[in-house]
Amino acid sequence: MEILSLRGLTVTASDDARLLDDVDWTVRAGERWVVLGANGAGKSTLLTAAADHASVDTVGVAAPLVVPDGERVLDVVLTAVYAGLVRGDEPYEDVDEARARSLLGRLGCRALAPRAYGTLSVGERQRVLIARSLMTDPELLLLDEPSAGLDLAGREALLLWLGRLAADPTAPATVLVTHHVEEIPTGTTHALLLRTGQVVAAGPIAEALTSATLSTCFGLPIVVSETAGRYAARFGLS
């Protein structure tokens, strides 16, 4: 089943610069994509286009949020603010809280339920945001540089749980944007590489993410390696 199908998509800025140039891209159910490219390559523009052109009813987006100090993560973040469940003064149903707790557990942060959002670490917030984005049971999940700003421990914890989510056959199709191959979680099935708004390569990750394609993507000689589903890159000249 096709979740997203873009054909010849071109996006032009106000100064007529092309942010995306003739992009063809298809995302199908069950696929876990990574979108790679340098700063300014068009990654975030492509993610916006994915949200706008998805052929499904529900798209989950892990976006930043502001929650008043003292509010609890479970009640405010997952069941009230971000789940589309706001019903005025009506009480939330037990099933809403049960689902929120289940999703927190799915991202390894069930114990954070009673915590004030402002007390969480950056990594903990990112996982809560992803749990929030799953509340509506989306068919497509969009993640824009979820590891940005995390230290090593926070990044690895996030990637661990993203890898487990990718391995779950009931999880939605996923598109994750980054410019670091080290931030690709295990279980990623496909890659799309962008350079100045144009697609360098797109397809199964073993075919699309190579030393040659990544070198073209970033305009430098780069050597890509893979170990147990995790990727690394280094400058290719001795």
Angle, CA 172 vertex, CA 129 and CA 65 arms, to 5°: 15
Segment 28-76, tens digit of pLDDT: 999 999 999 999 899 988 988 888 888 877 787 776 655 555 555 554 4
Residue 125 has pLDDT above 80, yes or no: yes
Q: Note whether 60 and 83 are within 8 A (CB).
A: no
pLDDT over threshold 70, residue 90: no
**Domain 1-55+140-150+173-238 = CATH 3.40.190.10:** no
Question: Global pTM?
Answer: 0.85
pLDDT of residue 31: 96
Give the CA diameter of the chain: 65
Instruction: Tell me if residue 42 falls in helix, strand or coil.
Output: coil
In the predicted model, is pLDDT for residue 181 greater than 90? yes
* CATH 3.40.50.300 domain position(s) in the chain: 1-55+140-150+173-238
